[in-house]
């Protein structure tokens, strides 16, 4: 009953009904079975076969007119509204679609190009992205620039030919090992204050001087990477937006990121959902326990209020009120729901969550889910950063005194570097 997590009632108009029928029919025919699960970029690295299968599926989605639903038709999208996107997500929630490797391309890089790219960039990059032929990654974070992304140190210097030459290191880059392009944020003017000397570029991940090294996370897998740039050349027309206006471009992309994380549909086989934990409680004969019942009801309420919040944000967006920084509420609430689920899982499963027979897949799946949960309140901006965004930009509270605001970047101390 994954439908309980959706709103169940969106798009009830005639056009919505017809679209829902079309999506439902197409998915019933084309969605792969559970054995073909491809992990999300943030989860673990896919195999070559999984990647190839995912690309084939995305191409089929594109051919069926179901890719880039809200993107402009001129660049390969469908020119539809958030209502159709919601319908698609509701229907897709019944399947474990192999679209995880495209989340960053479709949810972050693509929408930013739609907002800020030149006509030539959109024509070149958006259609292959929607067809699944080219995958993108996001190159913002660095060892010294986590929550404070604007303190990044990767340099891009213009040479005599007008090209840019990039040197530096990025980290936490999901999907870099199979990405074809990256949206790179680099420092182009260190004499300016930190927010003012940044530029966003399209970088070819296959260019000479780009080195990708896997980085293991606490679950033991390596879904993300360190990316090194050693004198990598980037042409002048690869700038996204304006030179030295990269911070505005980054804010645009981070806004899309929050919406795509907070609003993303949970996969069907997630052990950390109300549905899974209710079934687990029934299977273990504890569903009738008043404490378990109450906690399950609370978890359902938490999932439902988040789903309703997202549905309301979409309705407001369709009515002309863009979510903007309010997307941080969905991101924050999404992480809180997962932490609540970890608590309920412990209650329902008990000691078998900590030791199980080798070969018991439910034990492995639950352990992975418990271990992956910290990512929800760290990746894409920690809960603390989201609260700061809500406080500053939604509620209009006064900003903290900023000691780095008007200091040339080259005079600042960043990360954990020694004095």
Partner 1 sequence: MRLILDEEQRRLADSVRALLADHCPPQRVREVMADDGAGIDRRLWTQLAELGVTGLLVPEAAGGAGAGHVDRCVVLAELGAALAPVPYLASAVLATDAAIALGDDTLAEDLLPEIAAGQQTVAVAVADAGGRWGSAADSVQAARDGGHWRLAGEAAFVVDGPFADHVLVYADHGWFVVDGGAVSWRPSRTLDPTRRMARAEFARTSARYVPCADPAGVLEAVWQRAAVALAAEQLGGMRRVLDDTVEYAKVRVQFGRPIGSQQAVKHACADLYASCEQAEAVLWHAAWTADHDPAALPEAAALAQVVLGPAAFDTAASGLQLHGGIGYTWEHDAHLYYKRAKTSELLLGTPAEHRARLADALSI
CB of 268 to partner 1, least distance (A): 19
CB of 13 to partner 1, least distance (A): 12
CB of 290 to partner 1, least distance (A): 7
Is 10 or 177 the residue whose CB approaches partner 1 more closely? 10
- 137 token code pair: 């990654």
By the rule CB under 8 A, 345 interacts with partner 1: no
By the rule CB under 8 A, 220 interacts with partner 1: no
How many other CB atoms are there within 10 angstroms of residue 175's CB atom?
Answer: 27
Characterise 77 by phi-psi region: left (phi > 0), alpha (psi -120 to 50), beta (else).
beta
Is 284 or 293 the residue whose CB approaches partner 1 more closely? 293
Is 209 or 294 the residue whose CB approaches partner 1 more closely? 294
For residues 387 and 332, the answer to whether their CB atoms sit within 8 Å is: yes
Among 7, 153, 373, 376, binds partner 1 (CB under 8 A): 7
**Nearest by Cα to 281 from 345, 366, 369:** 345
By the rule CB under 8 A, 284 interacts with partner 1: no
Among 207, 287, 367, 414, binds partner 1 (CB under 8 A): 287
**Nearest by Cα to 390 from 338, 325, 311, 305:** 325
By the rule CB under 8 A, 293 interacts with partner 1: yes
Point out the catalytic residue in the list 43, 90, 142, 257: 257
Please tell me the distance from the alpha carbon of residue 263 to that of residue 265, in angstroms, as a whole number: 6
CB of 402 to partner 1, least distance (A): 10
By the rule CB under 8 A, 403 interacts with partner 1: no
CB of 199 to partner 1, least distance (A): 30
- Among the residues of 228-289, which ranges form H helices? 246-262, 274-283
CB of 326 to partner 1, least distance (A): 7
- 52 token code pair: 């190839």
For residues 255 and 327, the answer to whether their CB atoms sit within 8 Å is: yes
What residues have CB less than 8 Å from 184, skipping those under 6 apart?
139, 154, 166, 170, 200, 201, 202, 203, 234
How many other CB atoms are there within 10 angstroms of residue 176's CB atom?
Answer: 27
Residue 348: in which H helix or E strand, if any? helix 327-349
Question: Catalytic site residue 91?
Answer: no
For residues 206 and 175, the answer to whether their CB atoms sit within 8 Å is: no
Please tell me the distance from the alpha carbon of residue 42 to that of residue 225, in angstroms, as a whole number: 11
Sign of CA dihedral 251, 253, 254, 255: positive
Is 8 or 209 the residue whose CB approaches partner 1 more closely? 8
Give first-to-last CA distance, the chain, whole Å.
Answer: 57
> Of the ranges 3-11, 19-27, 152-160, 407-415, which one interacts with partner 1 (CB under 8 A)?
3-11
312 to 331: interface string for partner 1, x by CB under 8 A: x--xx--x------x--x--
By the rule CB under 8 A, 73 interacts with partner 1: no
> Of the ranges 32-40, 135-143, 183-191, 390-398, which one interacts with partner 1 (CB under 8 A)?
390-398
Among 399, 405, 410, 413, binds partner 1 (CB under 8 A): 399
Please tell me the distance from the alpha carbon of residue 351 to that of residue 347, in angstroms, as a whole number: 9
For residues 83 and 313, the answer to whether their CB atoms sit within 8 Å is: no
Please tell me the distance from the alpha carbon of residue 47 to that of residue 38, in angstroms, as a whole number: 8
> Of the ranges 117-125, 224-232, 236-244, 291-299, which one interacts with partner 1 (CB under 8 A)?
291-299
360 to 389: interface string for partner 1, x by CB under 8 A: ------------------------x-xxx-
The residues annotated as belonging to the active site are 257
**Which residues sit at the interface with partner 1, rule CB under 8 A?**
4, 7-10, 12, 278, 281, 287, 290, 293-294, 296-298, 300-301, 304-306, 308-309, 311-312, 315-316, 319, 326, 329, 332-333, 384, 386-388, 390-392, 394-401
């Amino acid at each position: 009953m994954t439908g309980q997590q959706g709103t169940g009632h969106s798009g009830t108009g005639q056009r919505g009904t017809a679209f829902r029928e079309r999506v439902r029919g197409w998915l019933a025919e084309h969605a792969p079975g559970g054995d073909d699960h491809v992990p999300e970029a943030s989860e673990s690295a896919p195999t070559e076969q999984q990647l190839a299968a995912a690309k084939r599926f995305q191409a089929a989605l594109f051919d069926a007119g179901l890719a880039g639903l809200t993107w402009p038709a001129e660049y390969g999208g469908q020119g539809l509204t958030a209502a159709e996107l919601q319908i698609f997500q509701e229907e897709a929630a019944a399947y474990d679609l192999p679209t995880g490797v495209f989340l960053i391309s479709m949810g972050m890089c693509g929408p930013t190009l739609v907002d800020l790219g030149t006509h030539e960039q959109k024509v070149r990059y958006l259609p292959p992205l929607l067809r699944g032929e080219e995958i993108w990654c996001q190159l913002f974070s660095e060892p010294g620039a986590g929550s404070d992304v604007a303190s990044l140190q990767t340099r891009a210097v213009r040479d005599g030919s007008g090209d840019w030459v990039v040197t530096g290191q990025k980290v936490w880059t999901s999907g870099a090992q199979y990405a074809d392009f990256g949206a790179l944020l680099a420092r182009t003017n260190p004499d300016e204050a930190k927010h003012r000397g940044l530029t966003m570029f399209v970088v070819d991940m296959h260019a000479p001087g780009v080195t990708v090294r896997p980085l293991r996370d606490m679950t033991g897998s390596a879904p993300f990477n360190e990316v090194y740039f050693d004198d990598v050349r980037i042409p002048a027309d690869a700038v996204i937006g304006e030179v030295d206006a990269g911070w505005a471009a980054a804010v645009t992309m981070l806004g899309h990121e929050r919406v795509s994380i907070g609003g993303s549909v949970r996969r069907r086989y997630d052990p950390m959902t109300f549905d899974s934990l209710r079934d687990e409680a029934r299977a273990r004969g504890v569903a009738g326990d008043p404490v378990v019942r109450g906690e399950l009801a609370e978890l359902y309420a938490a999932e439902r209020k988040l789903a309703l919040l997202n549905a309301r944000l979409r309705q407001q967006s369709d009515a002309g009120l863009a979510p903007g920084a309010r997307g941080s509420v969905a991101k924050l609430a999404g992480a809180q729901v997962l932490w609540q689920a970890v608590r309920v899982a412990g209650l329902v499963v008990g000691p078998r969550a900590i030791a199980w027979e080798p070969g018991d897949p439910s034990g492995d799946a639950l352990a992975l889910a418990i271990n992956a949960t910290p990512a929800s309140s760290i990746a894409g901006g920690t809960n603390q950063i989201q609260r700061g965004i809500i406080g500053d930009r939604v509620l209009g509270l006064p900003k903290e005194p900023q000691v780095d605001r008007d200091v040339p970047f080259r005079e600042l101390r960043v990360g954990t570097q020694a004095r």
